[in-house]
Amino acid sequence: MLLNKLFQKASLTVCCTAILVVGSISSCSNDSSEDNDLTRPTISLDYNNGFPQSCAQLQRGETYTFKAMVSDNDELASYSLDIHNNFDHHTHDDQGVQCDLDAVKSAVNPFIYMENFTIESGLSSYEIEITLTIPEAIDTGDYHCAYSVTDITGWQSRTSVDIKIIE
Amino acid sequence: MYDSNILISFMKYLLLTIVFTVVSQLTHAQNAILISGKIIDETNQTPVENATIIYKNSYAVSNSNGTFELRIQPKDSVQLHISHISFKTKHITVNTNATISNLTIKLTPKNNALSAVEISVNGKNNQQIAPLISTNVNEAFLQENRENSLMQTLSKIPGVSTITIGSGQSKPVIRGLGFNRVSVVENGIKHEAQQWGADHGLEIDQYGIENINIIKGPASLLYGSDAIAGVVAITPPNAPLPHTFKGEVNLLGESNNNLLGISSGIQFRNENWYYRGRVTFRDYADYKVPTDRVQYDSYIFELDNNNLRNTAGTEANAAFSFGYIGDRFKTETFLTNVNAKNGFFANAHGLEVRTSTIDYDASNRDVDLPYHTVNHFKILNNTSFYLKKHTIHTETGFQNNLREEHSEPVPHGYMPKPTHSTERIFNKNTYSFNIRDVYKPNKNHKIVAGINTEYQNNNIGGWGYLIPAYTRFSAGAFGYYLFKLTEKIQLQAGLRYDYGYYNTQAYSDWFPSTVSNNNGTTSYIYQQRATGENVSYNNISGSLGVSYQGKNTTYKLHLGKSFRMPLANELASDGVNYHMYRYERGNLDLSPEESYQIDIEATYKKNKLEIGISPFVNYFNNFIYLNPTPNYYETLQIYEYTQSKVLRYGGEVFAGYEISNAWSANASLEYVQSIQKSGPKEGFTLPFSPPLSSFFSLAFKAPKEIWLFNNVQITADLRVTAKQTEIVPPEETTPGYELVNLSILGNLKLFNSKKQTQLRVKVNNLFNTKYFNHTSFYRLIDVPEPGRNISASVTIPM
């Protein structure tokens, strides 16, 4: 019985200590989590130099400079530009504009542009500038132009715009 | 290969020892004696069905006449433990010098709704160790709380939650960890499917289950790899009594997703042979959410009549088993097949956000693309030999999991438009064999030693690549010792060694990609996503525990080390995850995850009050984490599998009080905090961290019959969940919510007073609250949880 009593006392002490330890760990570590970067970067085409704007028409063989503003509360990391066809009308645009789409068609030689870029370290705002020439031999029609950006923590934001490539 | 040689010789040695023990014991084992009797309700002298009578590892369940038979090893006197959901637990001591028949045991009714979740101290599961902290769930709890899927039903238990995928699928989460960190074990064999996948749900029929043992902590000692955060162990149903027949039909209807379900099971036994069978069929439409529109990644989708389009599904399951009980031998073979087809919310699944020519809103019962089909077939055998001081258990199993994901074929990047909808096929075969010997030299000592082996063969198909084909072999040998220091104090210690071997197959894209070379030229190459690799692991895990059971109090302290072998996708992923729109990259250098955990449990029970607390602290040396990097691959964000140190702590608090004979109240609180202590996300939490949550319930049990009904019970539940602001990319913070559920249960006494029809009406989300579940798969795409659901179920005994 003495053993039982002793054990009961011991387990009570262990329990109380555990609760106290857990409590104190939680109270101090909650502070550290407030330093975490919980903010996504932003990306915008909605300014004068932003390119392309919704429903823009781009000509084959021409050279354009694609521009977008990106910013972050902390530090920007990378961005990418993806241009792919929307011949099947899969809807991408989040600019709030409805463009007139051509009839649905199959791709023969669609234009694919996929490139990634890094932003030099230490910047919290940056203007993306990508100069590219639309090739001559590609299918004309509806395309999507999708930008994305990450910050140093790994948060990502994306935006996309409907464009048309014409002869 | 040096390790495997040692292991093989060790296994040979152990096997020889076991075989020798069996043979030597069989030659001079004594016959067990038989205790039979009847359990009755002391208030009205009526028979009590489904009472459990336990003596050590033997148990019996009373049938509809209240009678039972229990076979035990002879001994001067034994203490029987009789429990039932609706009655107070009773202990009686009987003298067993000879066979006992006509023993009458009277039980006193209780009025405590949630006491169905009993913390078991010395449960009926042979694998259970007393100081291990676990919760036993019985058939009555499952029937009273049945939700759309098994894990949703179990999520009422503090510390247990679920990751849901639509309305019909879910998978377990214990104290914030899920996927391959929780093992689901059915009849002793680990359920093996594609449990790493975000949109995979557990393929187990929740009807016909009688008992579940949930371990909220490390249990690799008993269950090997993956039992790192906990185990959901579905134990085999009790064998029916000789010359009995039992059957039931359960009908279910639900308003939210227009579900119709039927499940029917029978079981019967001759003298020694017994048979069980069950079929279940469920068909449901799209479920309704309390919102008109869903906004995801800056796209807006209007919903038709609150229907979350294309979330309908069907499920058809069949199970058959046959068993034989001899004097010192028991065997049962189970054949089960679970087949399901589930649609996925069409606007936020697959390659990217798309509109489609499919008219999803034409019908809310059809399943269009994207959807998955899954078929899980199992054949399992459990055999036990009861010898004088040894009991040998074997569990043998084969299971095949065939899962297909179908989505609209679309071109992406350099991949042209595929010619068919089969995006992925996983075909996995798992062979398992376990053997263990339970040796009890006397009543104070118990030694268990055993071996678990498993071989997996996983094949892949379809146009979307995520994980390579692989084969995996793993084996573990364990032993533990349980020692009764005094009548009240038990000590337990165990050790285990595991060896695992992976062979992953090479995989290359079926289409060429454009690659710019350094010299300015361009090549078109079929990119290799996985190389053929052989990797092997070994690990030592263990457990140390002590328990104290006083008159009113129980204390348990448990220290465990568990592990998990890395998965094929963690090792060898190298491709686009089309469903999550990201690029996932594995790492062949990952080491097995190791976790250390201290668990404490203290409960106090006196008169009408019961309180309990179960805190834990857990440390992962090398938690495998899919880290979103700041980098891109072909314009998709790269996620890399990395390992980091993780500290987790939290626990549950529980209180129950019987206010009067009719009224009872219960409350519980659960909390988990996780912090990454190293690596690229140091200071951040882990994905899918459950928020602080509390649960209150008030139950009224009618003391008298009401019209044609007796045992009428009305329960009101309130769940209050705090907001979750602890997130990690790419998660969103989730606001808190309050949710009210109502349920009414009753037995209809129409023709037969012994076999009463059970009725249940349940209202989930009474106020049609729009809320988000932080651990739901659809949370990432901003889809709220289901709206109000009224369900009605009838269980008719045959």
Identity of residue B591: S
B541 or B24: whose pLDDT is higher? Answer: B541
Q: How far apart are CA B377 and CA B178, in angstroms?
A: 23
Q: Are residues A2 and A61 in the same domain?
A: no
Q: Which residue of A has its CA nearest to B627?
A: A154
Residue where a domain stops, chosen among B110, B125, B150 = B110
A22, A81, A88 member nearest B615 (Cβ): A22
Residues of A in contact with B415 (CB under 8 A): none
Cβ distance A150 to B632 less than 8 Å, yes or no, reads: yes
Q: In this structure, are A30 and A106 located in the same domain? A: no
Which chain B residues are within 8 Å of A90, Cβ to Cβ? Answer: 352, 354-356, 410
Give the mean model confidence (pLDDT) for residues B656-664: 92
Question: pLDDT digits over B226-247, tens only?
Answer: 888 999 999 888 888 888 899 9
Q: Is the Cβ of A54 closer than 8 Å to some Cβ of chain B?
A: no
Are B200 and B191 a contacting pair, CB within 8 Å? no
Digit-coded pLDDT (tens) for A56-103: 999 999 999 999 999 999 999 999 999 988 887 765 556 666 788 888
Residues B623, B678: Cα–Cα separation, whole Å: 10
Tell me how crowded residue B414 is: count the other CB atoms within 10 A of its CB: 16
Selecting from A29, A38, A91 the residue whose C-beta is nearest the C-beta of B675 gives: A29
Spatial distance between the Cα atoms of B131 and B343, rounded to a whole number of angstroms: 43
Contact at CB, B617 and A107, closer than 8 angstroms: no
Question: What DSSP string runs through B385-449?
Answer: EE-SSEEEEEEEEEEEEEEEEE-----BTTB---SSSEEEEEEEEEEEEEEEEEEEEETTEEEEE
- Which range has highest mean pLDDT (B52-61, B77-86, B521-530, B766-775)? B766-775
Kindly indicate the confidence band of residue B770, based on its pLDDT and cuts at 50, 70 and 90.
very high
Residue for token pair 């692991």: B537
Give residues with Cβ within 8 angstroms of B766, minimum separation 6: B740, B741, B742, B788
* Amino acid in position A83: I
- The predicted structure's pLDDT at residue B464: 85
- What's the CA gap between A150 and A160, in Å, rounded? 15
Nearest to B298 among A14, A94, A155 (CB): A94
Is A32 in the same domain as A46?
Answer: no
Nearest Cα neighbor of B526 from B539, B515, B542, B510 is B510
Q: How many domains, in total, are found in chain B?
A: 2
Q: Based on the structure, what is the number of domains in chain A?
A: 2
pLDDT on residue A32 = 46
pLDDT class of B568 with cuts at 50, 70, 90: confident
Give φ, ψ of B297 to 5 degrees: 50, 45
- pLDDT at res. A7: 54
Q: H-type helices in B464-618, by residue range?
A: 568-572
Q: Indicate the length of chain A as a whole number.
A: 167
Q: Which residues in chain A have their CB less than 8 angstroms from residue B627's CB?
A: 154
- In this prediction, residue B268 has a pLDDT band, given cuts at 50, 70 and 90, of very high
Mean of the pLDDT values across residues B425-445?
93
What CATH number did the domain enclosing A84 receive? Answer: 2.60.40.2550
* pLDDT of res. B780: 78
Q: Do A151 and A80 sit in the same domain of this protein?
A: yes
Contacts of A35 in chain B (CB under 8 A): 683
Confidence of residue B122 (pLDDT cuts 50, 70, 90): very low
B88 and B150 share one domain: no
- pLDDT band for position A5 (cuts 50, 70, 90): low
A142-162 pLDDT per residue, tens: 988 989 999 999 999 988 888
Mark whether B632 and B515 lie in a shared domain: yes
Contact call for residues B217 and B556 (beta carbons, < 8 A): no
B228 shares its domain with B296: yes
Residue B419 CA: distances (Å) to CA of B347, B512, B579: 21, 16, 19
Residues A16 and A48 in one domain: no
- In this complex, is the C-beta atom of A164 within 8 Å of any C-beta atom belonging to chain B? no
Q: Which residues of A are less than 8 Å from B681 in CB distance?
A: 153-154
Regarding whether B220 and B106 lie in a shared domain, the answer is no
- Decide if A153 and B729 are in contact by the 8 Å CB cutoff: yes
User: Shortest Cα distance from B442 to chain A (angstroms)?
Assistant: 21
User: Looking at the structure, do residues A72 and A128 belong to the same domain, yes or no?
Assistant: yes
Residue B28 confidence class, pLDDT cut points 50, 70, 90:
very low
Residue numbers of A between 73 and 92 with CB closer than 8 Å to B: 77-82, 84, 88-92
Higher pLDDT pick, B287 / A31: B287
- State whether A20 and A89 are in the same domain: no
Are residues A26 and A65 part of one domain?
no
* pLDDT for residue B355: 54
Interface touch B635/A80, C-beta < 8 Å: yes
Stretch B483-501: mean pLDDT, rounded?
91
Half-sphere exposure of B429 (CA within 13 A, CB side): 5
Q: Indicate yes or no: CB of B555 within 8 angstroms of CB of A33.
A: no
Please name the residues between 110 and 129 in chain A that touch chain B, using a CB distance below 8 Å: 110, 112, 114-116, 118
Q: Which of A11, A21, A121, A153 to mutate to test the interface with B (most CBs of B within 10 A)?
A: A11
Supply the range of the domain harboring residue A134: 42-166
pLDDT of residue B1: 39
Q: How confident is the model at residue B429 (pLDDT cuts 50, 70, 90)?
A: very high
B631 and A114 within 8 Å at the Cβ level: the answer is no
> CA of B413: which chain A residue's CA is closest?
A112
Statement to judge: residues B106 and B120 lie in one domain: no
Distance from A91 to chain B by nearest Cα, in Å?
6
Same domain for B66 and B87? yes
Is A154 at the interface with chain B, CB within 8 A? yes
Q: Is the pLDDT of residue B649 over 50?
A: yes
One domain for residues B185 and B149: yes
Q: Residue with structure tokens 């309050």?
A: B738
- Test B729 with A156 for CB contact under 8 angstroms: yes
Highest mean pLDDT among B105-109, B206-210, B351-355, B591-595: B591-595
Cα radius of gyration (chain B): 27
Tokens of B332: 């049962």
B418 touches B463 (CB < 8 A): yes
- Beta-sheet strands, E only, within B749-788: 757-764
User: Domain range holding B84?
Assistant: 31-110
Chain Cα centroid distance, residue B22: 33
Residue B217: list chain A partners with CB under 8 A.
none
Residues A74 and A18 in one domain: no
- CA B132, CA B599: separation in Å to the nearest integer? 9
* Residues whose CB is less than 8 angstroms from the CB of residue B511 and which lie 6 or more positions away in sequence, other chains included: B414, B415, B416, B526
- Per residue, what are the HEC states of chain A? CHHHHHHHHHHHHHHHHHHHHHHHHHHHHHHHHCCCCCCCCEEECCCCCCECCCCEEEECCCEEEEEEEEECCCCEEEEEEEEEECCCCCCCCCCCCCCCCCCCCCCCCCCCEEEEEECCCCCCEEEEEEEEECCCCCCCEEEEEEEEEEECCCCEEEEEEEEEEEC
Closest Cβ opposite residue B602 in set A4, A15, A110: A15
Question: Are A11 and A87 part of one and the same domain?
Answer: no
Nearest CA in chain A to B355: A90
Q: Are residues A151 and A99 located together in one domain of the fold?
A: yes
In Å, how far is B308's CA from the nearest CA of chain A?
19
Same-domain pairing of B18 and B57: no
Q: What is the pLDDT of residue B121?
A: 29
pLDDT digits (tens, 9 = 90+) for B691-714: 999 999 999 998 888 888 888 999
Which of A18, A116, A155 minimises the CB distance to B635?
Answer: A116
CB contact under 8 A, B553 and A38: no
Let me know whether B82 and B63 are in one domain.
Answer: yes
Same domain for A53 and A32: no
Looking at every residue in chain B, the average pLDDT score rounds to: 85
Domain ends where: B110, B139, B169? B110
For residues B201-207, give the mean pLDDT: 88
**Per-residue pLDDT, B351:** 43
How many angstroms away from the CA of A11 is the closest CA of chain B? 7
The CATH number of the domain holding residue B581 is 2.40.170.20
Residue type, A77: A
Interface test with A, best of B296, B635, B675 (most A CBs within 10 A): B635
Q: How many CB pairs under 8 A join A and B?
A: 141
Same structural domain, B701 and B558: yes
Q: Which of A18-32, B296-310, B456-470, B733-747 has the lowest mean pLDDT?
A: A18-32
Is B42 found in the same domain as B20? no
Same domain membership, residue B79 and residue B155: no
Contact A107 B411 (CB under 8 A): yes
Residues of chain B neighbouring A7 (CB-CB closer than 8 A):
488-489, 548, 555
Q: Which residue does chain A place closest to B618, by CA atoms?
A: A22
Q: Show residues of chain A in contact with B611, CB under 8 Å.
A: none
pLDDT of amino acid B114 = 30
